[in-house]
Amino acid sequence: MHEHRTTAPLAVVTGGSEGLGLAIADALAADGANLVIVARDRDKLRAAAEELGRHGTTVHTVSAELSALDAPAQIAAQVADLTDRVDTLVNSVGAAHFSSLADTTVDAMHTMWHLNVQVPLLLSRHLLPALLNARGSIINISSYWAHKMVAGRPSAAYSATRGALNSMTLALANELGPQGVRVNAIAPGAVHTPTYERSHLAPMTVEQRTAHDQRIEQSYPLGRLGTAHDVAAAAAYLASAQWTTGAVLAVDGGLTVR
């Protein structure tokens, strides 16, 4: 006999105050999930919670500096004070530093390894009892940079962390599947988020922006950058897809088929 759920599912979303994390939290709340959103900036968290609250589900916030080594344990402890069941864990926080091999620093490597690999692994570990309790799922946000390189933009250290996250996703799907927990990842193409706007588009001249737009049209079969909603729709699917585990879903407008 299947257990009858009398309460709404609960989703924990790191990086839930803006960009992809906020869009994913919004999509999950629209499907009826209560939320715990995790981010560093308290003001952004407050604004995000107010925005997400329009769906009528409960929104909790956890302010945490994920670069701290003890952050996963501290976040899990705060979640445990709220619930003993986690239906969906979305590991959305990450860091990207692009540099040539000659210019790659140990500090940049450590930062990316910690945020892109260790935090998802350790947060999954600390929340595992709650995930097992709910027979829930983990969704890791990866990147096309795990296996698609771009001329003139060296990415060895960053690509290595994304490849590791993909491999970790497959290994955890294999390990946790028999216990009823699904583990999947999303590998987005370039997505027009606030971070992309600030770090990539804003510094461009008009001529550079025109060239950028032309490259996007040529590189992507669907002819455009992604939106946060595109990725959020995929996350909502994976959160509910009860016979899908071990998938690294390309949500990239066809970028990786060329």
Catalytic residues, by residue number, are 158
- β-sheet with 88-91: strand ranges across: 59-63, 34-39, 10-14, 88-91, 137-141, 182-188, 248-251
Per-position b or e across 115-141, b if 16+ CB within 10 A of its CB: bbbbbbbbbbebbbebbebbebbbbbb
Q: Which helix (H) or strand (E) holds 82?
A: helix 71-82
Which amino acid is located at 131 in the chain? L
The token pair that represents 181 in the structure block: 């927990």
H, E, C per residue of 122-140? HHHHHCHHHHHHHCCEEEE
Q: Which helix (H) or strand (E) holds 61?
A: strand 59-63
Q: Do the beta carbons of residue 10 and residue 87 sit within 8 Å?
A: yes
Per-position b or e across 7-40, b if 16+ CB within 10 A of its CB: ebbbbbbbbbbbbbbbbbbbbbbebebbbbbbbe
Q: How many CA atoms lie within 13 A of 13 on its CB side?
A: 32
Per-position b or e across 151-168, b if 16+ CB within 10 A of its CB: eeebbebbbbbbbbbbeb
